[in-house]
Amino acid sequence: MPLTSYAQLLGVYQAVFAGLLVVAGSAGRRRPPRIAYRDLVWLGVATYKLSRLISSDRVTSPLRAPFTEYVEPAGASEVKEKVRGTGMQRAIGDLLTCPYCLGPWVATALTFGLTVTPRATRLLGGILAAASVSDLLNHATTAIKKREA
């Protein structure tokens, strides 16, 4: 395990977080005292969807290609990939192929987006949430068809 590289990625996350605080402050945006429940719901769904898109979607594989090697299809438009390299290359590959690992990064970006550019972020979040509902319905339809066959 590339622990040193993981530690460096944590440092990058902290630096990005601090930078986003500065950007939000210089944009005249105050941090909200809390996140509204309705925002928390769509932020969660949008974070889930964007994390899945980045980590395993077939179409986003070029983003992961410098850090991964294709293994096989993994179901509905997803691919299974193996992380390659050592050090930082491997650490970034581990991050980019793990939706659970990407979740905090994506949630941070969306939450700061909500603070700095709420309209655009809500639009993006709505698109991602709608795509998640569509995925759920597609999986349900496939399961029903398999059961009927």
pLDDT tens per residue across span 27-75 = 787 777 788 999 999 999 999 999 999 999 999 999 999 999 999 999 8
Top-confidence residue, 77 or 106: 106
Please say if the pLDDT value at position 111 is more than 80. yes
Residue-wise pLDDT for 71-102, tens only, equals 999 988 899 999 999 999 999 999 999 999 99
Per-residue pLDDT, 149: 79
Structurally, the chain folds into a number of domains equal to 1
DSSP 109: H
Q: Mean pLDDT over residues 12-24, rounded?
A: 93
pTM: 0.89
CA 32/CA 59 separation, integer angstroms: 35
- Give the count of beta carbons closer than 10 Å to the beta carbon of residue 67: 20
Per-residue pLDDT, 32: 74
Q: Provide the residue range defining the domain that includes 49.
A: 3-148
Per-residue pLDDT, 12: 98
Please say if the pLDDT value at position 23 is more than 90. no
Per-residue pLDDT, 99: 97
Identify any residues that bridge with 82 across adjacent strands, giving them in sequence order. 69
Q: Output b/e per residue, 113-145; b: 16+ Cβ within 10 A.
A: bbbbeeeebbebbeebbebbeeeeeeeeeeeee
Q: Which helix (H) or strand (E) holds 47?
A: helix 37-56
Q: Mean pLDDT over residues 122-142, rounded?
A: 95
